Every structure is written in structure tokens, then in C-alpha cells.
A and B are shown apart, each in its own frame.
Chain A
């Protein structure tokens, strides 16, 4: 990170560092792991710093989140390539039996939502996280994920439907 001169470094600290929480939160949900999120978010920040000279104003949060997202996908391709090819599988989802542990925490909605979100494919999970947790506009989501605005709308629709379905399954407990 030493490439930046003192002025650029100060600008980086003022513009980009306030969004470290957003960076970590997106990585945590994309990677479904806090430890991996910490590593990947750090790597993304390093990249952001390296390419900071190429950032000419604009929305620093969207710019950083774009880098975080790309770093996450690169990481997933390398470490868990299966996850990127798996589509949401309702059959598979229905088969998961409630263990004593899941029954014990079933009363906790936060836990239930977390599990349901984590069953969605990354591409649907990310639009939900960006919309519902980050409060991004469609335009920002399109910029961060590099998908057309029209597709943002249909992705959100499918993501929300899949989340419903995952939540419904988790509360049914489809085992004998």
C-alpha cells in the first residue's frame, strides 16, 4: 500500500475507509464465513488502495463494493468453485432434517433468516444484501454487480421468491 503519496493516502482514508463496514458485510454474506470475509475484505482494500489513483470521484462506496464483490468471486472461483455453479435446489433444501440444534434455535428469527439467505445462490444473495441491508438503489446495484438495471429488478424478484421458499421450508421441517 506504499505506492500512494501522503496526499492520496489521506484522501483514501477520508473517502474509502468509512466504508470498511460495508465492505466486510458484503464479503461476509457472499462468502458465508466471517473469517474468510475478513481476509477477502482486507485483500479488497489493498486492491482499492493500489487502484485508487484510477478513482476519479463519484460514489466511493459503490466503487469499493464493486472491488469487494469481484475479489469475493475470484476467491470463490479459486476456493469453492461449486458454489458458483449451483442453482437454488428446492429438492435438496426440502431434505434437510431439523437437528436438535436447529430446533433449539428455531425461535430465533435472525438465525432462521441467516440460514435461509445462505441457501440462495451468490448472485441472488448479493442483490438482496445490497438492496435490503445496504439500501442501494437499482442503479448502484447495477454498477456494483455489472448487470443491467432491468435485470436487477428480475433478480431481486427471484431472490425474494427464493428467500420465501427457503424460509417456508425451514419452518416446515420436512422430515418424518
Chain B
């Protein structure tokens, strides 16, 4: 049995849209209407489910690109007015500065210390992911599903590959935040262990794999085609090397 109030006041009360007087009126009603009290909890559960499922879909990069192209048609230089030209010049100068700064700083950043710090953060993220409910945001062994879930969330083309035939079955993926940037993570079930593969875009050259371990977890880090990879697991290093080879073949 649904109460007469269920279609009107109840919704407004739940959404916080009633005036103080009407909210008080509804609360008086709520004291002796079990149906409304139950439905209020149901509404809250449903709303929570919708939030947790992360249904919001951000605009893909391709759409932003098209809109930018619409706004700034080709050959704007001749027609460009002074203020806009200044914007461009300022942006170009800023980029140049960034490039110089990056060139001077990045070699020193890439020291073993940096590597150790990064590995520490990534191992932490791995450990965190093993807690119940944190492993995957999209759980599927279908490459297309997983790729589809990442669409619009990343600024680079993520290689989503299932290696079930080679003993590493794709379990799904999620987004993590490491060092204040979001990082794509693919999850695999290895022969005996779960493996997280962290991936993020890099501007640096390809680099061959480096192996390390921390707190009983092994990691291998490498760069290929402007993507940095880091696989982490408590599996033996040999297993991780096998997965690393599958990614780089």
C-alpha cells in the first residue's frame, strides 16, 4: 500500500526541496506512516546505488577537440585580434618556460630516490586495492567492456589486453590517484596471485624494465610508447616478468 503523500511531499522531503513548514508537516506524518518511512529508506538506498555506480559520463577528448575546432576555425592568425594574439603569445612563452624547466629538472627527478618514492606509493595503492570492494570499478574479462569503461576518463590510449591464454586473466580495471594524478589500473588474476598493472602517460623515452621489491611485494616498472607501466604483486618476480613480456611483445 502506498500512502497518498508518497508521490508528492515524500519526494520533496527526500530531495530537501520542502519549505520548513511543509517539511515539519511531513515529519509529523512520518511519525505514524510506516509506508512512507520505508519508502524514504528505499529512496536513499537507490540514490546511494546510483552514486556508487559512477554513472556520470564525462565528455570524451574527441568532443572537446571538435568543439575547440568549431570555436577556432583554421587560419586564425591573420584574422586574430590583438588580445587573442597576446593570449597565444603568453601561452607559448609559458610552454617554453615549462619545457626549459622540465628539461633541467627531469634528469634529477629520475634518480633512484624518485623511483623508490614512486614504488612506495604504487605498492601502497596495490595494498589498498586488496581491501574488499576496492579492486575493480569495472569488473569484466572483456577487453571491450573494460576499454569502454575507461573511455573519456583518460588522456591517453590505454592498451586493454586479456592474457587468459598465458595464465593472466583480465579481471577488470579502476582509476587510482598516485602522486596527485589519476592512473589507470588493470587487474589480472595470475597463476596464484592478483596482479595490478598501473599505467600513466609519460613524455619520456622508452626504458627497459627495472625490478624492485618492497614490503614483500615485487614491482617492475618500464616505459613504452609514451606510457609508463608498473606491475605490482606478491607473486614471484619471474611471474611478473612474464606479464611484462606479454605487454611489450
Name A's B-contacting residues (CB within 8 A): 1-2, 6-7, 9-10, 12-13, 17, 20-21, 23-25, 28-29, 34, 38, 41-42, 45-46, 49, 105, 107-110, 113-114, 117, 131-133, 137-138, 153-154, 156-158, 160, 163-164
Contact = CB atoms under 8 A, between A and B. Distances in A.
A45 B8 CA distance: 35
Interface of B: 6-8, 10-12, 15, 17, 42-43, 46-47, 49-60, 62-64, 66-67, 70-71, 73, 81, 83-84, 137-140, 145, 151-152
B63 A20 contact: yes
A20 B61 CA distance: 11
Given A20-B64, A25-B58, A34-B57, A156 B11 contact: yes
Contacts of B84: 6, 10
B134 to A, nearest CB: 15
B47 A132 contact: yes
Nearest to A155: B11
Contacts of B62: 38
B47 to A, nearest CB: 6
Contact of B58 (A7, A21, A107, A157): A21
A33 B92 CA distance: 38
Contacts of B137: 110
A1 B70 contact: yes
B209 to A, nearest CB: 33
Given A25-B56, A108-B138, 5 more contacts: A24-B152, A38-B66, A42-B66, A46-B70, A133-B56
Contacts of A6: 81, 83-84
A7 B11 CA distance: 43
Given A20-B64, A132-B50, A154-B7, A34 B151 contact: yes
Majority SS of interface residues in chain B? Answer: helix
Contacts of A13: 71
A42 B43 contact: no
Contacts of A160: 11, 43, 46
A153 to B, nearest CB: 5
A49 B51 CA distance: 32
A173 B64 CA distance: 40
A41 B59 contact: yes
A42 B67 contact: yes
A49 B11 CA distance: 36
Given A20-B64, A110-B54, A156-B15, A49 B70 contact: yes
9 contacts: A21-B59, A24-B59, A24-B60, A45-B70, A110-B54, A113-B49, A154-B7, A154-B8, A154-B11
Contacts of B10: 157
Nearest to B71: A1
B60 A17 contact: no
B67 A109 contact: no
Contacts of A158: 7
A83 B192 CA distance: 49
A10 B86 CA distance: 13
B81 A137 contact: no
A42 B42 contact: no
B189 to A, nearest CB: 15
Nearest to B42: A164
Contact of B50 (A24, A113, A137, A138): A113
Nearest to B45: A164
A169 B92 CA distance: 57
Contacts of B67: 17, 20, 42, 45
A103 to B, nearest CB: 13
B187 to A, nearest CB: 14
Nearest to B67: A45
A42 B63 contact: yes
